[in-house]
Amino acid sequence: MSKHVLITGATKGIGRACAERFAREGWTVTAVARTQADLLAMKKAFSGQQVTTITADLGTDAGIASIPVHPYDAIVLNAAIFAPGHLLGEEDIYGRLWRVNVWANHQLARRLLPAVRQQPSGHLVVIGSRGTDFQPPHLTAYVATKYALRGLYLGWESELLNSNVKTTLVAPGATLTSSWNNEEPPADILAPETVAEAVWTSVRSGITGRVVV
Ligand SMILES: NC(=O)c1ccc[n+]([C@@H]2O[C@H](COP(=O)([O-])OP(=O)(O)OC[C@H]3O[C@@H](n4cnc5c(N)ncnc54)[C@H](OP(=O)(O)O)[C@@H]3O)[C@@H](O)[C@H]2O)c1
């Protein structure tokens, strides 16, 4: 039986590149996103490969409850909202970002890890950000949620240290995805496939801890 990975935010950017990387290795992929049309298009593009799609808004209780509990071999907690915003900006975006970037991942870990712990081995990969190594200007709310996620990750890492579940925090630098649609990308921007390769290598080789890309 093929191995099975759940990827949140799998239709675009880094999540999509991860889905392609795992599928190429013969893994079954369960792909989560909000936009059903994107998920249908993805299923078509992955024809011949094992892909299950789940339409869910992970910022809601109903969305979290709709994610199937299963003894996944790997879980990639990737979905997040990226939005620039100053502390004293006109729109207060913090609550919206907190709900998806932090609360949803906390809920998913609580929901999904017990079944993974029942099997011989599993791997939890969390997508963080290089932004927690410095404080980029004008990203106050976004980077604060990534610091919070890093804090959650550190707790999960120590709680799961002597268990069957490996943990990795993959921290990408700027990566060329739709997150950059309204921003000028830096010259050294990463390809999503480069980040996906780091995720895949972590799972394949059992690399744990923080991996900076
Ligand atoms: N791009 C960068 O420069 C960069 C740098 C460092 C870290 N990261 C991190 O890398 C991860 C992926 O970023 P990305 O740039 O690849 O993002 P992206 O291209 O914007 O894709 C985000 C994915 O998440 C899904 N999504 C968004 N909100 C959701 C929700 N409420 N419920 C379910 N799915 C949701 C989107 O689909 P729908 O819109 O259809 O839901 C999409 O599939 C994030 O954790 C981000 O913080 C990115």
List all residues whose CB is within 6 A of at least one atom of ligand 1: 8-15, 32-35, 38, 56-59, 78-82, 100, 127, 129, 172, 174-175, 177-179
Q: Mean of the per-residue pLDDT values for the chain? A: 95
Is residue 138 predicted with pLDDT exceeding 90? no
Alpha-carbon distance of 199 to 213, in angstroms, equals 10
Is residue 161 predicted with pLDDT exceeding 80? yes
Which residue, judged by its Cα, is nearest atom 44 of ligand 1?
Answer: 80
Q: Can you list the domains of the chain with their CATH numbers?
A: 4-212 (3.40.50.720)
The confidence score (pLDDT) of residue 91 equals: 85
For 11, which DSSP code? S
Instruction: Count the Cβ atoms, other than its own, within 10 Å of residue 182.
Output: 9
Closest ligand 1 atom to 189 CA? 3
Alpha-carbon dihedral sign for residues 69, 107, 42, 71: negative
Measured at the alpha carbon of residue 7, what is the angle toward residues 67 and 23, in degrees to the nearest 5?
Answer: 125
Pocket test for ligand 1, best of 8, 32, 82 (most atoms within 8 A of CB): 82
Span from the CA of 130 to the centroid of ligand 1 (angstroms): 15
Is residue 87 predicted with pLDDT exceeding 80? no
